Amino acid sequence: MILGIIADDFTGATDVASMLVRAGMRTVQVIGIPEGPAPDADAVVVALKTRTIPAADAVAESLAALGWLQNAGMQQCYFKYCSTFDSTPAGNIGPVTEALLDALGAPFTIACPAFPENGRTIFRGHLFVGDELLSDSGMRHHPLTPMTDANLVRVLQSQSRRSVGLIRYDTIAQGVAAVRDRIAALQRDGFALAIADATTNDDLRTLAAACADLPLLTAGSGLALGLPALYADRGWLVPDAQAAALDPAPGRAAVLAGSCSTATNAQVQRWRDAGRPAFAVDPRALARGEAVAEAALTFARTQGDEPVLVYATASAADLQSVQAELGAMQAGALVEACLARVARGLVDGGVRRLVVAGGETSGAVVQALGVAQLRIGAAICPGVPWTQAEGVATGSPLQLALKSGNFGGPDFFDEALRASTAA
């Protein structure tokens, strides 16, 4: 194993794995920390669900994942978080990064959530989502991790004991040597962490090359795109053109949406506008103890082979009102548990291709299905590959597309289903 990645949610894990597979790195995503030995792969992504849990628990789980990756012989470690730097106000990115630095005996690392292909860029330490500052984007309404400050130096500093500096775009434009000089200067000045600007994939490649010798990288998925070429240059990696090949997956398909992100709202709307079969999950009915999952499964059965959408996706206003009534965490947990039950029921009923929208939602679904690991296939859109579940006794291949809420265009659900039929 060359690269060991610790991802703080499940869609984030598939996102970064997709980046590596695209560059010919054989990559396996494991769900949680495996009991047994590491799979045979160039990179292994340990998918945790630590983004929104208490910081102390996130640290403990991340350190356990690190220990397992170290035992498996990892050469470099990568802590993967969301391209919108999602964290609770108590903040897990800082505490986990610092714990990993301590455990690795490393004095310095960078933090760079940029993913330019998906419109996430960082300029002078400020994160943009498309043309908007993070704090003006839909992320300010996120159900669990509302992001109200686009200044990432400030956000990371508020979560960290060590000092946080900045590697600015004009340094990155000067190339690898200038970035290395900047990192040395930051360390001399007492900084152990630095937000790195990046507005293009070339910036990310420069950064990756400048940080090639750091024991720990922390980033969104974008930084990973520069790594396989570096490993190949060192003679560690022979890129594999078949790295993204999956088995054909005949069987029915379905879509589950538990994200309230802007992109998922548009995708659900597009599906409903087209008159496709859709079942809405009402969190208030869940709180009243109604059998919502069973009703969704009954609805799905009446649609025959037609793919159904089961969604909890709501507008910012509806979400706010439900959260005020039920509590944000409580409402989220009810919805996640419901969608996880629906996923289990759909797969028991013969569904073999499942599109899931939402990071936390994907985590709940994958856990409910008992998936042990995922082989990573070709990308449907930047950041979202089809994956093949391993360790589930379904008799025929089970494939999952785990989509971070804000990824994909309005037709994503259909694009995913078409791509899977072609597989």
Chain positions contacting ligand ADP, by CB under 6 A = 142-144, 258-261, 283, 312, 314, 319, 322-323, 331-332, 335-336, 358-361, 404-406
Q: Return the number of the residue (244 or 278) whose C-beta is nearest ligand ADP.
A: 278
CB of 101 to ligand ADP, least distance (A): 26
CA 85-63-67 angle, to 5 degrees, is 130
Q: Return the number of the residue (260 or 379) whose C-beta is nearest ligand ADP.
A: 260
CB of 22 to ligand ADP, least distance (A): 21
- β-strands 27-31, 308-311: how paired? unpaired
Cβ-proximal residue to ligand ADP, closest one: 405
Number of residues assigned to the chain: 423
CB of 266 to ligand ADP, least distance (A): 12
Q: Return the number of the residue (14 or 361) whose C-beta is nearest ligand ADP.
A: 361
CB of 130 to ligand ADP, least distance (A): 16
Give how far the C-alpha of residue 343 lies from the chain's centroid of Cα atoms, to the nearest Å: 19
Residue 169 to residue 185: CA distance in whole angstroms: 16
Residues whose CB falls within 8 Å of the CB of residue 160, separated by 6 or more in sequence, listed in order: 94, 95, 97, 98, 193
CB of 284 to ligand ADP, least distance (A): 9
Residue 164 to residue 191: CA distance in whole angstroms: 6
Q: Return the number of the residue (65 or 286) whose C-beta is nearest ligand ADP.
A: 286
Q: Return the number of the residue (27 or 84) whose C-beta is nearest ligand ADP.
A: 84
Q: Return the number of the residue (174 or 315) whose C-beta is nearest ligand ADP.
A: 315
CB of 258 to ligand ADP, least distance (A): 4
Q: Decide if 51 contacts 9 (C-beta within 8 A).
A: yes
Q: Return the number of the residue (73 or 130) whose C-beta is nearest ligand ADP.
A: 130
CB of 95 to ligand ADP, least distance (A): 20
Task: Give the dihedral of Cα atoms 274, 275, 279, 281; nearest 10 deg.
Answer: 50
Residue 46 to residue 29: CA distance in whole angstroms: 6
Q: Decide if 255 contacts 237 (C-beta within 8 A).
A: no
Residues whose CB falls within 8 Å of the CB of residue 202, separated by 6 or more in sequence, listed in order: none
Residues whose CB falls within 8 Å of the CB of residue 203, separated by 6 or more in sequence, listed in order: 114, 116, 169, 172, 173, 197
